[in-house]
Amino acid sequence: MSTPYWVAGKPRTSDSPVTVRSPYDAAVTGVTSNATAADIEEAVAAAAACRDEVAALPAHVRADALDHVSRRLAERFDEVAALITAESGKPITWARTEVSRAIGTFRWGAEEARRFSGTVQRLDTEPGSEDRVALVRQVPRGPVLGITPFNFPVNLVAHKLAPAIAAGCPVIIKPAPATPLSALLLGELLSETDLPAGSWSVLPMTNEQIAGLVGDPRLPVISFTGSDAVGWRINDANPRKHVLLELGGNAPVLLCPDWTDVEGAAARVAAFGTHQAGQSCVSVQRVYAHTDVYDAFVPALVRHVRELGTGDPASPETHVGPLINADAARRVTDWVTDAVARGANLRTGGPREGNALAPIVLTDVPADCAVVTEEVFGPVVVVVRVESVDEAIALANSSRYGLQAGVFTHDLRVAAYATAKLQVGGVVIGDVPTYRADQMPYGGIKDSGVGREGVYSAMLDLTEPKVMVLTEFVA
């Protein structure tokens, strides 16, 4: 039976089937279908038609809908986690973590919907503005096209849906072709709410269909999470739209000479340079280890990486699952092979079985190798010896990406200095850059994108200020 997609809140199927298979063993996870041209037009027309209605929707209606989705995710926790694992190959432990985060993301959306109230400014700070105040409120920019990736098929869809609904924007979700079923399940949960029918749609599409849709003037906001090549192409082709981009990274870690728990740092880097096969924008990719700790850190990292469980993602013992497809596995293998051919030292890992790679640690890598300069999006960690914190910062900043960085230091002065100097959107002190709380501003600079996720921050991006000046107002 084909899983329906959602057109303006209504279930539909088409005669363009999409079979979803596990990246681990190619078992069929489920079947859905791509939306028809007529269904896409209906969804866009409905979103545009209900723009004012959704903007005026009382906060309690928006909040109640988001609370409902949060509760229903909790009730169907095991089912949703198993679906994530089946269609994306994400190990079940990390799938469970993702569902927990999505529950929180929708809950945060409900809370922010209730308190998104604007500000009051006094205007009597300048002569001629006595007895005036300004009420500044954030008003919706209009319908949003949300384009989501495969690596967090529930929570990154939640990060499009929750802020849009909370802010009063109709939203159309285009899920990743490899992982549409999780997004469609969220559509099922939204269909149980009292939201207006045209306020949301979830539509699997072909590349040709989405290419035509991004330029539609009825969708003034595009929120894209995915590759930088595609993201910037969307941005450049739509200069009059409000485009939000959460793109790639090759997250650096600075291991400073004062860090006493080198073993603990190695364990964290091993875990979060390889979890879900490194398919995270903030997966640890580059470690700049000070020479005072380098010789202790590298063997500890290699040992911890070798201890990680690999294999069937449905097993709770598996830490590193498969990459999303054979093309991704081949690309990562080719990049590692190239680095080794050019003098890199392969400390551990590398053998490939199907779409899975044994997690890899590299040292002595030439600085212009792809595993250093590009986003690997695979279970690869590169370790570089540095002589100073300043050298580590300079090397970290040499990347065209700037999403998040981690700094292992006990020195508050070093923490403040590194945070000021690192060209990234976020710095995590005392841990890996993979840490993310779903309520905090999350995003990057340079080729890592523009705008911020995190429910409140995204709501600000999806809205714009509107000012009402009250005259002869006596406070």
Specify the CATH number for the domain of residue 111.
3.40.605.10
Query: Which H/E stretch holds residue 230?
Result: helix 228-237
**Has residue 309 got a pLDDT over 90?**
no
Q: Domain holding 277: CATH number?
A: 3.40.309.10
Q: What is the mean pLDDT of residues 180-186?
A: 98
Going by C-alpha positions, the residue among 409, 389, 397 that lies closest to residue 367 is 397
The answer to whether the Cα torsion of 253, 102, 99, 243 is positive or negative is negative
Same-domain check for residues 219 and 263: no
pLDDT in tens, 399-427: 999 999 999 999 999 999 999 999 999 99
3-state secondary structure 142-204: CCEEEECCCCCCCHHHHHHHHHHHHHCCCEEEECCCCCHHHHHHHHHHHCCCCCCHHHEEECC
**Burial of 52 from C-beta contacts in 10 A (0-12 / 13-18 / 19+):** exposed
* Assigned domain for 14 exists: yes
Measuring CA to CA, which residue among 32, 175, 58 is closest to residue 113? Answer: 58
CB distance 235 to 269 below 8 Å: no
Evaluate whether residue 442 is within a structural domain: no
Co-location of 270 and 330 in the same domain:
yes
Give yes or no: residues 211 and 348 share one domain.
no
CA gap 249, 228 in Å, rounded: 9
Residue 329: inside a domain: yes
Matching residue, tokens 């739209």: 241
- Position 472 confidence tier, pLDDT thresholds 50, 70, 90: confident
Per-residue pLDDT at 235: 97
Q: pLDDT-derived band of residue 475, with 50, 70 and 90 as boundaries?
A: low
Answer yes or no: do 294 and 224 share one domain.
no
C-alpha–C-alpha distance, residues 209 and 136, integer Å: 38
Residue 209 maps to a domain: yes
* Pair (454, 383) in one structural domain: no
CB atoms within 10 A of CB 197: 13
- Considering the domain architecture, whether residues 335 and 306 belong to the same structural domain is answered as yes
One domain for residues 430 and 461? no
What mean pLDDT is predicted for residues 53-77? 98
Is 316 part of any domain?
yes
Q: SS3 of 363, please?
A: strand
Return the pLDDT at 350: 86
* Domain assignment present for 83: yes
CA–CA dist 452, 252 (Å, integer) = 20
Residue 172 and residue 77 share a domain: yes
> At 351, is the pLDDT very low, low, confident or very high (cuts 50, 70, 90)?
confident
Integer Cα distance of 91 and 77 in angstroms: 15
End-to-end CA distance of the chain: 63
Nearest to 151 by CA among 222, 53, 241, 249: 249
Total tally of structural domains belonging to the chain: 2
Residues labelled catalytic: 246, 281
Rounded-to-integer distance, Cα 205 and Cα 291, Å: 50
Residue whose structure tokens are 């990486």: 305
The token pair at 95 is: 């799938």
Q: Is the pTM of this model over 0.75?
A: yes
How far apart (Å, rounded) are the C-alpha atoms in residues 403 and 471? 44
- Quick check: 367 pLDDT over 70? yes
Q: Does 209 score more than 80 pLDDT?
A: yes
Instruction: Give the residue carrying structure tokens 């090549």.
Output: 229
Assess whether 289 and 154 both reside in one domain: no
Is residue 101's pLDDT more than 80? yes
Mean pLDDT value of segment 288-305: 98
Mean pLDDT calculated for residue range 257-264: 97
Q: Is residue 475 in some structural domain?
A: no
Q: Is 403 among the domain residues?
A: yes
455 in the same domain as 311: no
- For residues 281 and 380, membership in a common domain is answered with yes
Query: Average of pLDDT values for 249-263?
Result: 97
Say what the pLDDT of residue 253 is: 98
Q: How many residues does the chain have?
A: 475
The pLDDT value given to residue 282: 97
Same domain, 224 and 270: no
pLDDT at 474 over 70: no
% of the chain surpassing 90 pLDDT? 97
Q: What is the pLDDT of residues 385-400, one digit of tens each?
A: 999 999 999 999 999 9
Strands (E), 364-448: 380-386, 401-402, 404-408, 426-429, 445-446
Longest dimension (CA), the chain: 76
Q: What is the pairing mode between strands 119-122 and 132-140?
A: antiparallel
The domain containing residue 288 runs over which residues?
Answer: 252-437
- Reported as a single tens digit per residue, the pLDDT across 112-148 is 999 999 999 999 999 999 999 999 999 999 999 999 9
